[in-house]
Amino acid sequence: MQATSLVYCFLLVSLCIDFSQNETSAHPRRQRRRMRNRGLRKSSSVGHRPPQQLSINPPAPAAAVPSIPLINIDDGVMGVFDSLVGLGGQESSYSILPGKKGHCTANGMIMYDKAVWSPKPCITCLCSNGEVICDTTMCHPLKCPQTIIPAGECCPVCSDAASSLDSSIIPLDDISEFSGDFPESTDLNNTSVLSSAHTQTENDELLKDELLEAEVVEMKEKGRHKKDEKKRKRKGKKNRQKHKAHHRDKKPITKNRAAEEEILDESDEDDGPFRMPSHFPIPVPPIEPPPLPSGCSTSDSTVSCINAKLTQIPPISDPDLTSLDLTGNSITTISDEAFNGIPNLEWIDLSKNNITSSGIGPQAFKLLKKLKRLYLDGNMLAHIPSGLPSALEEIKINDNHLHAIDEDGLQGLKNLVTLELEGNKLSEANVSPLAFYPLKSLSYLRLGRNKFRIIPQGLPVTLEELYLENNQIEEVSEICFNHTRNINVIVLKHNKLEEHRIAPLAWINQENLESIDLSFNKLYHVPSYLPKSLLHLVLIGNQIERIPGYVFGHMKPGLEYLYLSFNKLTDDGIDPVSFFGAYHSLRELFLDHNDLKSVPFGIDEMRKLRFLRLNNNKIRTVPPERICRAHISDDDVHGNSEEEENEESHLEHVHLENNYINTRQLSSHAFSCIRSYCSVILKPQKTK
């Protein structure tokens, strides 16, 4: 008799297992995964946990089965069961073994401990220690006017998304409940379950606090932030286990038990056969930076806000940004936090704003360790900003109100190569002789359009180019360039220099000085004691009447460019030896806009001359030998032919327009050394 009872019990368990397998096989893989992960693993590894800790996700309806009336189970749980007749036939994939104790009775049938069955579509039941625990699929609330339930699903979806289930991905911010690896939803009528599934905050708090009445769960605290996706999934399972709404007499779950279950769930994650990828991945929205103001644009690693009517530096957070152009706005201040979100800037252009010295915070540029170029032209700065990064290589503060540079004004800028301070109120009286001392790498200095009367003192040893145009300089002393042995270019145009105010030893011994611009001063003749290394000499717009003889004779390798336009040169002011020392080197000679009545002597000796300007003078004729050498006859010594060929003229352009030349009377040999006659400009000419 005992053997017969055992066989009977075994057949009942087989029917139950087969029924579960048949119901599950009619569903997608997600149903199998949920059954395996939540039914089998928990039944096999969590045998002593309270029933409300267990959560079995139900499969969706597969086929219509006959239903039976409702019955009471455990005096508090109403279950709906379906007939088990004729639902076997497939081998179960579950490994549920019947227990010896804790049997359950369902519809007059004995269910062994840990047995799982589905009495009705979207409902799954579990026998746990003699008690029947049923779980109903939870549906996420929808905010659309029309919903439908797709075939094979338990929850409604919006009608416009019903054609494709994959398209109904729930936004991350709206998800309050997770089941398995994907979002779950429930029937809107199951209010007892929805009360615990509305918000993620409730979901988090239920993990910590006691379980209240099954039908209404209230939040007790707020403030926990979202955790990573795996933990949220596990929370979804635990919340559903805690909400076995019909077991009112069960003890509330404790924090220790919740932690124990979380550890067990983590160990289950590595269970290979039950680990399946999510069908519906939850997209994690990227953290978007604050939008740029209107009028701004971005390209690669550059943000440009030119003429965007900004009144402050926009809040930007982008570590990859290297260039920021804010030209032409109405910015007045730069706070200490202005560039905190863009610490890797290499170039900032704040030109043409209204920034004042008092409006710049002392730490405004301190964090920009990679900043190399800073443009502050056209603002209202009275002082050079303090706390500038030592990595700076170029600073432009032209057209401001700078009226002083003390000895600490440029402190720490040892890598600075270019400094532009034009259009300010600087002078030798308010610029300290030690101001440029910290600039150990400076090679390019612009101090034009200020109020200097002498060359500034204390110029850096490394200086190569100095621009002092449009000042009030009257003197070049002997000590001005004593320490600038590398200086290559000096621009002193538009000042008040006279030749006798230039000291004989001011620059004659400079070995690298190649270019001097003394245009628009008060010179009456070409200055003597010019640097012997000089290649370019610009003397346009003076009152020069004479070129002294041998004035270029000491230069090596020799002067190449001489510009004497717009002066008062006459025939008497140019001697036959005025160009001595430059015959073999001169490439360009500008003598236009003077008072010359004839082509000067010595031009035919300039064998490397390419560009000659004699226009706008008073020249009346061009003798054959003044520009091109006289033709050598066949009777001349043949030994000179090779030398003559090597010294053939290189003239390419000759300007003689706006003189008094009668072009019809010109000799055919006047321009014989010029390869193309179209390079000779003779028209128009003046008349008496």
Q: How far is CA 82 from CA 38, 59, 69, 130, 138, in A?
A: 22, 14, 9, 20, 20
- DSSP codes of every residue in 440-452: TT--EEE--SS--
Residue-wise pLDDT tens digits, 254-267 = 444 444 444 444 44
Distance CA 291, CA 314 (A): 9
pLDDT at 39 over 90: no
Q: Positive or negative CA dihedral for 267, 268, 269, 271?
A: positive
Structure confidence at residue 570 (pLDDT): 95
* Per-residue confidence (pLDDT) for residue 142, from 0 to 100: 74
- State the Cα–Cα distance between residues 480 and 470, nearest whole angstrom: 18
What's residue 193's pLDDT?
37
What stretch of H or E contains 13? helix 2-25
The packing angle between helices 255-269 and 200-208, to 10°, is: 110
Q: Write the CA distances from 503 to 76, 480, 528, 530, integer angstroms.
A: 114, 10, 10, 10
Q: Residues of the chain with pLDDT > 90: what percent?
A: 47
Q: Which is more confidently placed, 281 or 428?
A: 428
Q: Which of 375, 363, 472, 477 is nearest to 418 (CA)?
A: 375
> HSE (CB half, 13 Å, CA atoms) of 410?
30
Q: Are 431 and 458 in contact (CB under 8 A)?
A: no
The answer to whether the CB of 438 falls within 8 A of the CB of 413 is yes
User: Regarding predicted confidence, which is higher, 16 or 400?
Assistant: 400
- In this predicted structure, the answer to whether residue 596 has a pLDDT above a threshold of 90 is yes
What are the Cα distances from residue 24, in Å, to 28, 31, 124, 399?
Answer: 8, 6, 11, 81
Q: Cα Rg for the chain, rounded, in angstroms?
A: 48
Rounded Cα–Cα distance for residues 489 and 416 (Å):
18
C-alpha to C-alpha distance for 274 and 32, rounded to whole angstroms:
9
CA dist., res. 392 & res. 346, Å (int): 9
**Percentage of residues of the chain with pLDDT beyond 70:** 62
pLDDT number for residue 354:
96
Angstrom distance (rounded) from CA 476 to CA 490: 11
pLDDT of residue 184: 40
Q: Which pLDDT does position 663 carry in this prediction?
A: 87
pLDDT digits (tens, 9 = 90+) for 359-379: 999 999 989 999 999 999 999
Tell me the domains of the chain and their CATH numbers: 2-136 (no CATH), 147-274 (no CATH), 296-384+394-399 (3.80.10.10)
Q: For residue 166, what is the DSSP state?
A: G
**Measuring CA to CA, how many Å separate 314 from each of 289, 318, 367?**
12, 12, 17
Q: Which two tokens stand for residue 292?
A: 């740029």
Secondary structure letter of residue 511 according to DSSP: S
Q: Which two tokens stand for residue 370?
A: 């990679």
Confidence of residue 565 (pLDDT cuts 50, 70, 90): very high
Specify the pairing of strand 123-128 against strand 116-120. Answer: antiparallel
| Beta carbons of 76 and 249 less than 8 angstroms apart | yes
Closest of 608, 610, 548 to residue 580, by C-alpha: 548
Between CA 197 and CA 139 the distance in angstroms is 9
- In this prediction, residues 645-656 reach a mean pLDDT of 77
* Distance (Å) of CA 468 to CA 11, 471, 535, 540, 612: 108, 6, 20, 16, 29
